[in-house]
Chains A and B, each alone.
Chain A
Amino acid sequence: MRRKSRKLVLLAGACAVALVVVGASSGAYKAPHGKAALKTLVFGTSADPIVMDGALVSDGESLRAIDQVTESLISLKPGTTKVQPGLALRWKTSKGGKAWTFALRRGVKFHDGTPFNAAAVCYNFNRWYNFSGPFQSADATYYWQAIFLGFKKNESSDLSPSLYRSCKANGKYSVTITLAKPFGPLIPALSLTNFGIASPTALKKYNANRGEIRNGIFTPTGSYGRDHPTGTGPFKFKSWTVGEKLELVRNAQYWGKKAKLGRIIFRPISNNTARNQALQTGEIMGYDLVAPADYASIRNNSKLKLLTRPAFNVAYVTIHQGQGSPMNDLKVRQAVAYGLNRGGLIRSAAYPPGAVVAKEFQPPQLFGYAKTGVKTYPFNSSRARQLLNSSSCKVPCKIDFWYPSAISRPYMPDPKRNFEVFQASLEASGFDVTPHTAPWRPDYVGKVSNGTAGDLNLIGWTGDYGDPDNFLGVFFGTYSDQFGFRNSKIFNILQKARTETNQAKRTKLYQQANRIIMNYLPAIPYAHTSPALGFRKTVKGYKPSPVSLEPFSIVSVGGV
């Protein structure tokens, strides 16, 4: 018996110690921050890039990595949407506003050693303009289509004629880009990573223009975007093991201030919780889009820090006008505005810290924001009732209100909670709310866009580049089924602002537009949120950008 129990103890001991030994034999798990790894930043991403060719992607993870390798003519002041010289030192527009001349930086070389010059700029623009076949698919060239609308030869009737006309090299270091009509947002739009200038030699050598529809899927077949992305940026592409890591190394020949990091490793971790845990263990040193539920775990850890991205989004309540709709009456729309308890919602647990009540349809830091003279609608249920009783829809005014299910957006983390708060405050204000819901895709978004999602619905937008046209112009630039209103005053002012190239004039036009919109109330903005990034405290110098274009070249690790 004694022998048996001794064996038992031995066996149990062996089992229990097994795990301890494997872990403890080498001490605590060592994250990559030894001496040799001091200048390496491991950044957790939600996915691999799709392809390292800015012209062919629209997803954030591809753009984040490409932005370190290629540069555009225009760049942004870190942490802002203010434009500053990129590969172009200066720019000016012609009298009619159709032609833009850019003076290019001299002495810049691509990573393959070839020179950056006017010919390279025109080669890139003409490459995008001449895309054909599968490259004209919306999922392949979303941003070219969003800014320049169409191609040299449009192959689909859905595409509009191209805004782009030509690119002309005026000697080695000056180019003129001519448009079909004046386009005010061109300069901020050119800061998009999608318009990064790549080496023409590499593009040709590695067949960047080859792609096909294989089994119905657009596939770039050249090796440029997989193995040879070549730009002028502070980091060079080194290697990419799909599902494991994408590695960029410092460009020692960079024309500007050289990167403080020796290497960046983008590590794909698709699960948000896993990213958070990897940050805690030190396996990654930073990641984007921290879930609000994880804020506390980062704030309470002395080795971690939380950075917030300046708000560049807006959540709003669509007011759908149309035949027989109670919302055609301005007094009803005003009653809705007073009846939405926006402040209560933003202060509730439904929104993370840093969220603010939206007073206009664009973020406050963007030019064109009207600081004064904009009508505001603080929650006031008795005022809402008064307005309703003097309107065409008496108390209780019956309305249909839609919200999306099974989704969380940065500007609307908990749509159901948003709806519940608004339903309660609207009902207290004399409305009789009938709730409706649908899955975000395809039903909900489809219904909102085609104007069949009730009298009111919850939706929002995250901006792409620093121009009010990317907010106001998208929502109210022209008639849309979503809102169902026709107001020539609003449409005209936004079209005028779109084609105006003088910055001061544009600023005034958008301020004016914001005032008119908040009087007319085609919808009601209610939140701007600040998405968060989590980092190890050893990471210094990371400046969150409102449009997620963060230069890693100014980042350092471990005090380097």
Chain B
Amino acid sequence: MLRFVVRRLLLLVPILLGLSILVFLWIRALPGGPAEALLGERATAARIAEVRHRYGLDRPIVAQYWDYLKTTASGDLGQSISSRRSVMSEIKQRFPATLQLAIVAMIFALGVGLPLGFLAAKWYGSVFDHLSLVGSLIGISIPIFFLAVILKYIFSVRLGWLPSIGQISVTTEMNHPTNFYLLDAVIEWRWDAFWDVTRHLILPAIALGSIPLAIIMRITRASVLDVQNEDYVRTARAKGLSPQIVDSRHVLRNAMLPISTIIGLQTGLLLSGAVLTETVFQYPGVGNWIAQAIFNRDYPVIQGGILFLAVVFVIVNLVVDISYAFLNPRIRLSR
């Protein structure tokens, strides 16, 4: 197991190296640059040249990449050109918001996807089953961005039920010992703030969780359909066990193995895929921050942010693989 973990961690090095080259080249291929974004309207050719020179942006691209690699290898992701803050400190502040949103989105996806998938399998061929399948197909097909815009327009702008932006009302005063606002509200024993943060999470979580929900629903349905026809389930029924016990102890438990893999993979995707949702809801997480950095050509933020999300994605996948190996001894043996 240790060798497996070490090997997977070592794989991170070429992955990150390749990714860093891709991101580095990609953002430099975009029109415009940080000097122009910084100086704005009053940029003259001379001023742009001066800022480019000061920031080393006029040096050969290989030299720029080498410098970037050296500082990144030492754990320093650099400074944001537009906000002039350290990229790492911004990540520390913003990542909890993204993680919190991803977790809530996953809870929503599981809370709705699992029972829907289970019931669709139990009522195989029924109207409910067909409706669930169509619904899940729509869930997978509809772009998150579009869904987010629609949800926001209906429930915030038109109906006024839920807030349209941010992760907490600006008038809600609260300390943030962890920067996980839900947790902070619990620690501070502030149920009003807890409710406020929850309300801000509902629409982004639904938008972000729509695709995992659909996938979880489909996998659960397929998995339950597989398992409920197994011999041991038939035996359990023949022994006279109640349907509830057969379902909970034998069907669901065994069907959970592929579902757990999907949950892990989808969690990684949620973390890295929050860019659009966070942008629509102006949710102050890493995704919104990177989107803004792309607009401002803020190279260090784009590079650092994407690299950070890549590391998170790889680590989440690693944890999933490890947990899968624990759940299924055959995986461990094959390694």
Contact = CB atoms under 8 A, between A and B. Distances in A.
Chain A complexes with chain B: yes
Contacts of A443: 31
A29 B162 contact: yes
A463 to B, nearest CB: 11
Contacts of A126: none
A269 interface: yes
A89 B313 CA distance: 61
Interface string B194-224: 0100110010001000000000000000000
B80 A217 contact: yes
A217 B78 contact: yes
Nearest to B127: A8
A445 B48 CA distance: 11
A142 B171 contact: no
A58 B37 CA distance: 12
B43 A441 contact: yes
Interface residues of B, number: 79
Nearest to B52: A442
B90 A242 contact: yes
A24 interface: yes
B31 A139 contact: no
Given A142-B39, A217-B55, A32 B162 contact: no
A478 interface: no
A496 B32 CA distance: 38
B40 A214 contact: no
Given A243-B93, A271-B282, A439-B31, A139 B46 contact: no
B279 interface: yes
B110 interface: no
A219 B79 contact: yes
A436 to B, nearest CB: 16
Given A138-B39, A156-B50, A443-B31, A277 B157 contact: yes
A283 B163 contact: yes
Contacts of A439: 31-32
A560 to B, nearest CB: 16
B51 A137 contact: yes
Interface in A112-142: 134, 137-139, 142
Contacts of A269: 165, 282
Contacts of B195: 26
A213 B36 contact: no
B12 interface: no
Contacts of A28: 159-161
B232 to A, nearest CB: 26
Interface string B28-40: 0001110111111
Contacts of B79: 214-217, 219
Nearest to B167: A244
B168 interface: yes
A29 B161 contact: yes
A10 to B, nearest CB: 11
B323 interface: no
A245 interface: yes
B202 to A, nearest CB: 6
B164 interface: yes
Interface residues of A, number: 66
A462 B168 CA distance: 36
Interface in B236-292: 279-282, 284, 288-289, 292
Contacts of B170: 32, 42, 244-245, 265, 267, 283
Contacts of A242: 83, 85, 90, 93
A211 to B, nearest CB: 9
Contacts of A280: 157
Contact of A24 (B161, B198, B280): B161
B83 A138 contact: no
Nearest to B48: A442
Given A22-B162, A216-B54, A242-B83, 20 more contacts: A4-B126, A28-B160, A29-B156, A29-B161, A42-B170, A142-B42, A146-B42, A214-B79, A214-B86, A244-B166, A265-B170, A267-B170, A280-B157, A281-B160, A439-B32, A441-B31, A445-B43, A446-B48, A450-B45, A461-B41
25 contacts: A4-B126, A15-B112, A19-B202, A29-B160, A29-B162, A29-B163, A29-B199, A48-B83, A50-B82, A137-B51, A137-B54, A139-B51, A142-B42, A146-B42, A214-B86, A216-B56, A218-B84, A219-B84, A244-B168, A244-B170, A274-B280, A280-B157, A283-B170, A440-B32, A442-B32
Interface of A: 4, 7-8, 11, 15, 19, 22-24, 26, 28-29, 32, 37, 40, 42, 47-48, 50-51, 58-59, 134, 137-139, 142, 146, 156, 158, 213-220, 241-245, 265, 267, 269-271, 274, 277-278, 280-281, 283, 409, 439-443, 445-446, 449-450, 461-462
